[in-house]
Every structure is written in structure tokens, then in C-alpha cells.
Amino acid sequence: MLRIGIDLGGTKIELVALDQSGRVVIRRRRPTPQGDYLATVSAVGALVDAAEGELGQRCSVGVGIPGAESVFGGPIKNANSAWLIGKALRNDLQARLRREIRLANDANCFALSEAIDGAGRGAEVVFGVILGTGVGAGIVVHQRVLTGANRIAGEWGHNPLPLLTEESLPPAACYCGRCGCIESWLSGPALGSDHFRHAGESLTAEEIAARASSGDATCEQTLQRYERRLAKALALVVNILDPDVIVLGGGVSNVERLYQAVPQLWAAHIFSEVIETRLLRNTHGDSSGVLGAAWLWNADGTD
């Protein structure tokens, strides 16, 4: 059985179909009907119908979403696509598609994709981090997503940043209603806000990195602050989960110097004299989420 993956994003819905070797045989996308839940369910169904029509067969379906189920098969929570919140999305998609589907947080799908055949391939435990507009993470153990009793395993971004130093200034409010969340320090917008606070100019993460590499002292200081914060936040993960690999995704993951600087800095905060955990850049880029959704079903399409 071929596997279909759906990345149900806030602005677009993307579909891929994978053959038995994991090769993409179909890729399709369409705009998300923002604010319209029933139209969103219908759009996912139409994409699957069209793909199966081209393939000439029925497929397994996995769906990645920007949120989580409150309980198995229950209403969606913690979604930045607000029109999904409180809806029984799994049940409604299963009714529309007339089959069981697998549903997971998009960060979990990212981590799974990178664990199956990406940067974390062959590793027993992979922690996948998205450093983008928000900060999310997923945990994969033996190529299986760990969801947890409350369906929040990997919600690293909504823990407070540890070991405050220069961060002792009043912590920023997070959209979740808390203050000082890792997301409020380490997202792409947070990096830009930190630079603006210190330098009075608005720059993206890519612009800050480029200027730092050209010798801009203020941008260099901004990146050094970011690297210290990321190192402390990831050291917490290593001390608790002890993953083989941490894979970075999202826009900030394109800052190449992180992969050398952060492991040098996190050593001071990790409770081990030897650190084998590797910090790696993602392999599949923006496709990790939709590929991981397809991989929610294993090779036999049943488990």
C-alpha cells in the first residue's frame, strides 16, 4: 500500500504520496480555506480523492497539524490555525475518507521524517526542533513518535528558558499565556526582536547572520546571545531525554554557525563528562512535515 501524507498548514495544504521505498510519486498543494473548518476537511478529502484517482489505488493517510489532540480522537488544542480548535478533526477526516487515519503534531512529523531517512537516520532517539515563526519539537524513539499521556510530548518551546543571566530582564509574554517561554527567546521573530531591542534596527535572522559574518559587531553580539540561549535550552533536553541526535528545522536552522557554536556552549550545562549527542541540520527542509505525516504509517501500511 502506498502512503499519503498531508501537511495541514495555516496557509497551504500539501499532499505527498510515497511508494514502498519512500520515493515521492505525487506532490500536490492548495491554499488552506482559512477560518472555515468544514471547507478545510473537504479540501483535504478532495486532495486525497484526486491523488488516489491518479494512483489507481487506496492509500494509507497520515495528517500533520499545527496543534494536538486533547485525547485520542478528541478535540484539537494548541493550534495556531484557530478554526481547528475544539473540533474532532480525526473523526471528521475519517468519516470523509472512510478509513482510519493517523494524526500528529507537525513538529512530530518533522522529527519522524528526519529520523526515518533524514539527518537522524539510524539513531535510536531523535529530538527534532523547529526554530521558525514559533518553536516546536518532537520526539522519535526507534522510529516511532512519542506523544505522551497528555499528547504534549516534545512541547519544549513552552518551558521557561533555564539559567537566566542577561535574560533577567522582564520576560516576554508568549501567546500561550505564560511568560519567558523558550519560544519567546528562540523563535525567528524573537531573534529579530532581541536585535531590535539592543541595536534599534529591524533585521531577519538571515540578515543578522550575514552581517555578523561580515564583521558587524552588534549582529555578532546578537547571535552570541542567541547561541547561549539555545545551548542552555537544548542542554535541558540532553539532561532529560539524552537523545542520539538533535535535528534543527525552521528558518533559523539555516544559520550555519549554530552547529559548531552550540555544542561547544552546551557542554557547561550537560551532566556528563562525555557528550555524544549530535546537533545536525535537517535533510528534508520544508518537506519534512509532509513526509513525516506519510511515515506515520510504517512500511506495511498497518502499524
**Which CATH number belongs to the domain containing residue 21 in this structure?**
3.30.420.40
Does 164 have pLDDT greater than 90?
no
Lowest pLDDT segment from 12-21, 68-77, 114-123, 204-213: 68-77
Task: Flag whether pLDDT at 185 surpasses 70.
Answer: yes
Per-residue pLDDT at 302: 46
Across 39-53, 155-169, 267-281, least confident range:
155-169
Q: If residue 42 lies in a helix (H) or strand (E), which one and from where to where? A: helix 37-55
Q: 22 and 155: one domain?
A: no
The count of domains in the chain is 2
- The residue-averaged pLDDT of 9-26 equals 92
**Where residue 299 falls among pLDDT bands split at 50, 70, 90?**
very low
Residue position matching grid coordinates 499521556: 149
Among 66, 81, 105, where does a domain finish?
105
pLDDT of residue 32 exceeding 70, the answer is yes
* Same domain membership, residue 129 and residue 24: no
Q: Which of 147, 14, 108, 12 is nearest to 4 (CA)?
A: 14
Residues 89 and 152 in one domain: no
- pLDDT at 224 exceeding the cut of 90: yes
Q: Is residue 178 part of a domain?
A: yes
Has residue 302 been placed in a domain?
no
Q: Could you tell me the pLDDT band of residue 194, with boundaries at 50, 70 and 90?
A: very high
Same domain (yes/no): 180, 251: yes
* 136 and 278 together in one domain: yes
Res 208 pLDDT > 80? yes
Same domain, yes or no: 155 and 231? yes
Cell numbers representing residue 8 in the block: 495541514
DSSP state of 171: P
So what's the pLDDT on residue 168? Answer: 58
CB 283 within 8 A of CB 114: yes
Same domain as 269, residue 151: yes
Asked whether 102 and 142 are in contact (CB, 8 A), the reply is: no
pLDDT at 166: 59
Note whether 90 and 173 are same-domain residues. no
Does position 300 have pLDDT exceeding 80, yes or no? no
The residue that leads in pLDDT, 178 or 104, is 104
Mean pLDDT of the chain: 91
Same domain, 134 and 272: yes
Is 138 domain-assigned?
yes
Determine the pLDDT at residue 282. 97
| Percentage of the chain modeled with pLDDT above 90 | 76
The domain of 140 spans: 119-282
Is the predicted pLDDT of residue 73 greater than 70, yes or no? no
Residues 260-283 have a mean pLDDT of: 96
- Average pLDDT of 245-265? 96
Same domain for 99 and 189, yes or no, is no
In this prediction, residues 69-76 reach a mean pLDDT of 80
Residue with more model confidence, 69 or 264:
264
Q: What is the DSSP letter of 267?
A: G
Q: Which DSSP state fits 12?
A: E
Identify whether residues 126 and 256 lie together within a single domain. Answer: yes
Residues 173 and 99 in one domain: no
Cβ 244 vs Cβ 276: under 8 Å: yes
Q: Does residue 263 fall inside a structural domain?
A: yes
Q: Is the pLDDT of residue 72 over 70?
A: no
Instruction: Kindly give the pairing relationship between strand 12-18 and strand 24-31.
Output: antiparallel
Q: What is the mean pLDDT of residues 243-249?
A: 97
